[in-house]
């Protein structure tokens, strides 16, 4: 394992294709593979975030009750310097865009989806002066 898991915040995403999820997060969002046991499980790391990619055969997916197994509204939140450039880059790469860029008091963001439909928020904070 390449990272001290005790120093990381971990989030579990249930995915239907672990290799596709690894490819998505490492190719498009700058994660690196910590461990990989496809097709059941992998974990990828970006900074202090450890993303657990749990396929259907993993214990993390199997423990989920049937009435809670669908996609939720939760998502990871990745900060970027230029949300417009990031959206353009991801769109050119064929990533599924799930929203337009929305502005609010804290910044600007848009949503993309991983191959399993899990949401990822790409966020540019408002400059504080």
pLDDT tens digits along 24-47: 999 999 999 999 999 999 999 999
User: What is the pLDDT, as a whole number, of residue 62?
Assistant: 77
User: What is the pLDDT, as a whole number, of residue 72?
Assistant: 55
User: What is the pLDDT, as a whole number, of residue 68?
Assistant: 64
Structure-token pair, residue 60: 């993390």
Q: What is the pTM of this model?
A: 0.79
User: In this predicted model, what pLDDT tens digit does every residue of 38-94 receive, in sequence order?
Assistant: 999 999 999 999 999 988 888 777 767 676 666 556 789 899 999 999 999 999 999
Q: Which of 20, 15, 17, 122 is nearest to 79 (CA)?
A: 122
Distance from C-alpha of 46 to C-alpha of 30, rounded to nearest angstrom: 7
**Mean pLDDT of the 89-113 span:** 93
**Mean pLDDT of the 6-17 span:** 87
């Amino acid at each position: 394992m390449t990272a001290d898991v005790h120093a990381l915040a971990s989030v579990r995403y249930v995915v239907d294709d672990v290799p596709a999820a690894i490819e998505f997060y490492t190719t498009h969002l700058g994660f690196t593979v910590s461990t990989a046991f496809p097709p059941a499980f992998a974990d990828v790391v970006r900074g202090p975030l450890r993303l657990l990619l749990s396929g259907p055969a993993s214990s993390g997916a199997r423990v989920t009750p049937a009435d809670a197994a669908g996609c939720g509204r939760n998502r990871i939140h990745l900060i970027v310097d230029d949300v417009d450039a990031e959206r353009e880059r991801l769109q050119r790469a064929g990533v599924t865009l799930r929203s337009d860029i929305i502005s609010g008091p804290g910044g600007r963001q848009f949503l993309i989806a991983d191959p399993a439909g899990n949401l990822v928020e790409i966020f540019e904070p408002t400059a504080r002066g």
